[in-house]
Amino acid sequence: MTIEENKEIVRRYQEACNANDLDALDGLVAKDVVSHNATPGLPPGLEGGKLAHRATLTAFPDLHYHVEDLFAEGDRVVQRFTLHCTHKGEFMGLAPTGREVRLSGISIFRLKDGVIAEHWAVQDSLALMIQLGLFKPPG
């Protein structure tokens, strides 16, 4: 696969996630995808990823990732994103606050045979806690 083809797969993956079209992920993500940031207690692979996405939508039903940058080299695609959502359902024991959340993050995807085979992600969890009122910064 070319670098541009790999980037297009990641674009289609993000579009499917934003549209909550989890069935579309079957053709974009390997069933045994390795997520290095998987939610503890969920099954591995694509099944666990879909369960995590559905659970997140319960708390943040308007979840949307905006791709700020997309870079690729070899079999890897790096995505810098901004996430927007509103806290409308219980999240990790926290009752809905109605607060809007905006945070940034980076995902790295490794592709193999035309599908996402591996994933790493880092997002600004401190910003999430501050925006939900779970943490008050000093000063």
Query: Within a domain: residue 53?
Result: yes
Answer whether residue 137 is part of any domain.
no
Residue 124 reports pLDDT greater than 90: yes
pLDDT band of residue 31 (cuts 50, 70, 90) is: very high
Q: Is the pLDDT of residue 56 over 90?
A: yes
| Residue 109 in domain | yes
Q: Tens digits of per-residue pLDDT, 89-98?
A: 999 899 999 9
* Euclidean distance between CA atoms 67 and 121, whole angstroms: 14
Q: Residue 70: which H helix or E strand, with range? A: strand 64-73
Range(s) of the domain holding residue 105 = 3-131
Q: Kindly state whether residue 9 falls inside one of the protein's structural domains.
A: yes
**Is position 83 within any domain?**
yes
Residues whose CB falls within 8 Å of the CB of residue 85, separated by 6 or more in sequence, listed in order: 60, 61, 62, 63, 64, 100, 101
Tokens coding 52? 């995590």
For residue 138, is it within any domain? no
In a domain, 136, yes or no: no
Structural domain contains residue 124: yes
Whole-model pTM?
A: 0.94
pLDDT tens column, 36-45: 999 899 999 9
Which residues 6+ apart lie within 8 Å of 23 measured at CB?
A: none
DSSP notation for 5-16 = HHHHHHHHHHHH
CATH number, domain containing residue 75: 3.10.450.50
Overall domain count for the chain: 1
| Helical (H) or strand (E) element with 66 | strand 64-73
